[in-house]
């Protein structure tokens, strides 16, 4: 795989950046997520030291971890973190390094120093590598030079020189031998998930769903969800509502104590917050940070 210089990434425009984030969040590289959406296994190669790969924590406590990846959208990242903070819940955030860099270098108005503000709310941070590329063909040195070190550099600019991530979560859950070596070299565990909310998958299916954007989009949308949506509402609005329903169905089907839950900073997950809070209360589950969950491990 060709090496991509850091200078190239520094010249990326905000429009290109947001388009890149939307596409990658939907699993555009290397195919979709459906085959392994809830197993937490991702695309995993046979790798030594795989005991360091954490998807679920054995605990006698009724605790779970809510984690959010990518954070391409400053708007939804801040809204989601604020809502959970108001509910007394601290999240574990895995931003892509480029998302952090974008906020450091050219934040949207009102989003300056966002990452320091999120940490002040009590949220903690892991590393989602830097560029959100498919790393299946990356060597250890490539991972260090192009992904890990650039991500750490920009996160330390945002959060302080002593920042260390609580875990490394590779894009798409791809685990390779070089990645396991990277984890061991930095002494940071690999963190996947035991429950995928599938917010990014259904959000991508919503793109262009409004009739005014595409004459045939409502038919496409109806095919995706296997139901007729002909009414006065924009199909895209209905699509987001269906995303919330899918998120909650996944919660009800796959949740158990010790689960690490995968979300992204997207509209559907933001709109699902009230129902997530009600679900946690009804199931007598406490949402904690990853570091807290690991501290309670009975393994």
Note the pLDDT of residue 239: 85
For every residue of 223-247, DSSP letters joined together read HHHTS---SSS-HHHHHHHHHHHHH
User: DSSP strand E in 172-227: where?
Assistant: 190-191, 195-196
Report CA 139 to chain centroid distance, whole Å: 24
Residue-level pLDDT at 144: 98
- Chunked into runs of 10 residues, the chain (299 residues) has average pLDDT values of 35 39 33 35 40 87 98 97 98 98 96 98 98 98 98 98 97 96 96 96 70 39 39 65 94 97 96 98 98 87
Tokens of 42: 């991702």
Q: Please provide residue 233's backbone torsions phi and psi, each rounded to the nearest 5 degrees.
A: -85, 150
Q: Would you state the structure tokens that stand for residue 291, as one six-digit string? A: 């570091």
> How many whole angstroms separate alpha carbon 125 and alpha carbon 117?
12
The predicted pLDDT at position 208 comes to 56
């Amino acid at each position: 795989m060709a090496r991509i210089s850091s200078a190239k990434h520094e010249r990326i425009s905000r429009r290109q950046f947001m388009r890149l984030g939307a596409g990658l969040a939907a699993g555009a590289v290397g195919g979709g997520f459906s085959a392994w959406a809830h197993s937490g296994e991702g695309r995993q190669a046979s790798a030594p030291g795989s005991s360091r790969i954490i998807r679920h924590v054995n605990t006698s406590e009724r605790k779970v971890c809510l984690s959010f990846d990518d954070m391409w959208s400053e708007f939804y990242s801040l809204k989601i973190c604020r809502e959970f903070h108001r509910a007394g819940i601290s999240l574990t955030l895995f931003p892509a390094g480029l998302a952090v860099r974008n906020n450091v270098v050219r934040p949207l108005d009102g989003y300056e120093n966002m990452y320091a503000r999120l940490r002040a709310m009590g949220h903690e941070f892991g590393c989602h590598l830097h560029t959100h590329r498919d790393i299946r063909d990356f060597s250890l040195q490539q991972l260090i030079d192009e992904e890990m070190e650039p991500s750490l550099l920009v996160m330390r600019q945002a959060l302080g020189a002593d920042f260390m991530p609580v875990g490394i979560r590779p894009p798409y859950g791809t685990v390779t031998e070089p990645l396991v070596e990277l984890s061991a070299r930095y002494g940071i565990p690999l963190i996947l998930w035991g429950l995928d909310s599938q917010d990014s998958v259904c959000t991508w299916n919503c793109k262009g769903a409004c009739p005014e954007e595409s004459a045939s989009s409502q038919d496409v949308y109806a095919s995706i969800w296997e139901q007729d949506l002909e009414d006065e509402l924009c199909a895209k609005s209905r699509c987001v509502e269906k995303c919330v329903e899918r998120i909650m169905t996944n919660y009800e089907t796959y949740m158990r104590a010790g689960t690490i839950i995968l979300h992204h900073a997207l509209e559907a997950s933001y709109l699902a917050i009230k129902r997530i809070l009600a679900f946690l209360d009804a199931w007598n589950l406490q949402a904690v940070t990853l570091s807290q969950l690991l501290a309670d491990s009975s393994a």
